[in-house]
Amino acid sequence: MNRREFSQRLCGIALSAVFAKMAVAQQQTHDTRGKQHSRPEKPEEIGMLIYPGMTALDLIGPQQVFGYLGNVRVELVAKTKDPVRSDTGITIQPSKTFTDCADPLDILFIGGGSDGTVALMTDSETLDFLSRLGKTAKLVTSVCTGSMVLGAAGLLRGYRATSHWSVRDILPQLGAELVVNRVVQDRNRITAGGITAGIDFGLRVAAELRGEDYARFLTLALEYDPQPPYGSGTPEKATPAVKKISHSAFDPLHTAFRDAALEARKKWVS
């Protein structure tokens, strides 16, 4: 086998390409709820906001799922084309900016973080972008503390929503009704809990767009058979020792998010 034949053969097994064909086939069938999924005429546009200090796993969990949907355009949108550094030092290249991002989007998404996310909650350029795209997007979505920023942009007023457990009680300050669930959908708003909830969220969206059979297939492709080795990650199930550690980490963060929420609200009134 020469190099060219080898390359052609490898192209034939690139999962994203294989999945693209399969997703289209799935779109032409019925899902288990009997809802028709017809092939859209043009690729769905997904815009995922990225910013300094974001938690990379909030983004990549759903991005991995979206990337396997086939017939979608998944863009990473930032203020500028400068590379963006995550909270654990992953440097990611944006593919679109606030000015050249598709409008309307099929899905508008923002993931969470800590200091970087708090900073966005009073950043008028970001809030204006979210507010503008949020008006026309078919789905307005978030993972983790990303819902704090959606809320700051006024996009969760009157909606049921969730967030990372450490800050979710702040949602009512942003006009939302808190629902404690891993993924919460209210009309076209879908918000998810902390960090790893992004995978559950991504699969929910996959089912919405391609039917439940395709979401089940992606669950298998991702080998999503989680076995948390050290118990479950909810405050309700945490041991006293873990609760004690987590207070010292998350209490200052809660204060910062709450203050930013109060600041963001002021803009709505004025």
CA proximity to 119, closest of 144, 139, 158, 149: 149
- One residue of 133, 156, 184, 197 binding a second copy per CB under 8 A: 197
CA distance 110 to 141: 7
Question: Is there binding between residue 147 and a second copy (CB under 8 A)?
Answer: no
Structure tokens at 21: 């064909």
With respect to a second copy, which residue has the nearer C-beta, 23 or 134? 23
User: Closest distance between a second copy and the C-beta of residue 42, in Å?
Assistant: 18
Is there a catalytic annotation at residue 11? Answer: no
User: Closest distance between a second copy and the C-beta of residue 135, in Å?
Assistant: 27
106-125: which residues touch a second copy (CB under 8 A)?
A: 113-116, 118-119
Rounded-to-10 torsion of CA 239, 225, 48, 193: -30
CA distance 181 to 270: 33
Sequence-ordered strand ranges (E) for 79-172 = 84-85, 91-92, 96-97, 107-110, 139-142, 160-161
Task: Name the active-site residue from 144, 153, 174, 192.
Answer: 144
Structure tokens at 92: 């990611």
Count CB atoms within 10 A of the CB of residue 82. Answer: 12
Sole window of 56-64, 129-137, 149-157, 171-179 interacting with a second copy (rule: CB under 8 A):
56-64
Sole window of 101-109, 127-135, 150-158, 217-225 interacting with a second copy (rule: CB under 8 A):
217-225
Sole window of 5-13, 38-46, 125-133, 147-155 interacting with a second copy (rule: CB under 8 A):
5-13
Question: Is there binding between residue 180 and a second copy (CB under 8 A)?
Answer: no
With respect to a second copy, which residue has the nearer C-beta, 88 or 136? 88
Question: Is there binding between residue 33 and a second copy (CB under 8 A)?
Answer: no
Q: At what angle do helices 197-210 and 56-67 cross, to 10 degrees?
A: 20
Sole window of 33-41, 125-133, 134-142, 248-256 interacting with a second copy (rule: CB under 8 A):
248-256
User: Closest distance between a second copy and the C-beta of residue 258, in Å?
Assistant: 12
CA distances from 240 to 244, 249, 251 (A): 6, 15, 16
Q: Which amino acid is at 178?
A: L
Helices (H), the chain: 3-11, 15-27, 56-67, 115-120, 124-136, 146-152, 197-210, 212-221, 240-269
- One residue of 133, 149, 184, 207 binding a second copy per CB under 8 A: 207
* Number of residues this chain uses to bind a second copy (CB under 8 A): 91
Question: Is there binding between residue 185 and a second copy (CB under 8 A)?
Answer: no
Question: Is there binding between residue 167 and a second copy (CB under 8 A)?
Answer: no
Please, how many CA atoms are within 13 Å of residue 57, restricted to the half-sphere of its CB?
Answer: 9
Fill in the per-residue mask, 87 to 106: x = in contact with a second copy (CB under 8 A), - = not in contact. xxxxxxx-x-----------
User: Could you list the active site residues?
Assistant: 144
